[in-house]
Amino acid sequence: MLKIENLHATVADKPILKGLTLEVAPGEVHAIMGPNGAGKSTLSNVLGGKPGYEVTGGSVEFLGQDLLELDPHERAASGLFLGFQYPVEIPGVSNVQFLREALNAQRKYRAEEPLSGGEFLKLAKEKAALLKMDMEMLKRQVNVGFSGGEKKRAEMVQMGILNPRFAVLDETDSGLDIDALRVVGEGINSIMRAPDKGALLITHYQRLLDVVKPDRVSVLADGRIVQTGGPELALRLEDEGYDAVMAEAAA
């Protein structure tokens, strides 16, 4: 589903990704963990096509397409969703307005009929209920005045409405209390756990993985994947820290 080979990328001429190779199969949730500065957020931004991130080598294949040749809106319309570590505010634009425009733009790209206002509201209510979010929240401006947890729930509602084939979620657990963490984790499972979908879950902590339960876990350090294993690898990182696991990988 997603195949990254020998990916190199720079930010402001500074090398961040230094030969990263990773593959995520259909139906798989793959977690990436690693110390600060390892390149985790850079990876998510490169996959999303954020300006300022220059790919200097390697390839990324998504659903048989060369992902790096697509503009950001084409990546989204092809089924890629990027969840931000710090969701941005968009003053003057309501969540409902934003999400309907985004969904119908993607449907147009795929030569599908747009949803009517009534059809969209029905869908939005269904996905908001899944994340335990009141529809009144979706009538407010995008993320304006939202708490950290509300921003993350709203982003998961967005993911549910857009219904992507693949989600890259950059520290979705950041800023969540215990209850919100469980709601968001269960939302990820409900939306992305399917044989024809996949997800790359970037996190620092085991607590989200207790809910989502990834199929595989990789350690990213100094711009490369240095070790990959099952869910037990995340438990080792929680108990032993990164240094011990990376020392073993280097041996």
Would the pLDDT of 107 be above 80? yes
Range of the domain at 136: 2-250
Residue 175: is its pLDDT beyond 90? no
Calculate the CA 72 to chain-centre distance: 14
Domain count within the chain? 1
* pLDDT for the residue 249: 64
For residue 121, the domain's CATH number is: 3.40.50.300
* Of residues 107 and 132, more confidently modeled: 107
Residues with Cβ within 8 Å of residue 174, at least 6 apart in sequence: 85, 86, 148, 152
**pTM of the complete model:** 0.91
Reduce the DSSP state of residue 98 to 3 states and report it: helix
pLDDT in tens, 37-94: 899 999 999 999 999 999 999 999 999 999 999 999 999 999 999 998 778 889 999 9
* Mean pLDDT confidence for 130-135: 84
* 248 has pLDDT over 80: no
The better pLDDT of the pair 46, 35 is held by 46
| Stretch among 115-119, 189-193, 196-200, 205-209 having the lowest mean pLDDT | 205-209
pLDDT at 76: 93
**% of the chain residues with pLDDT over 70:** 99
Question: How many Å separate Cα 155 from the centre of its chain?
Answer: 10
27: CB partners within 8 A, 6+ apart: 194, 195, 196, 197, 198
Q: What is the overall mean pLDDT for the chain? A: 91
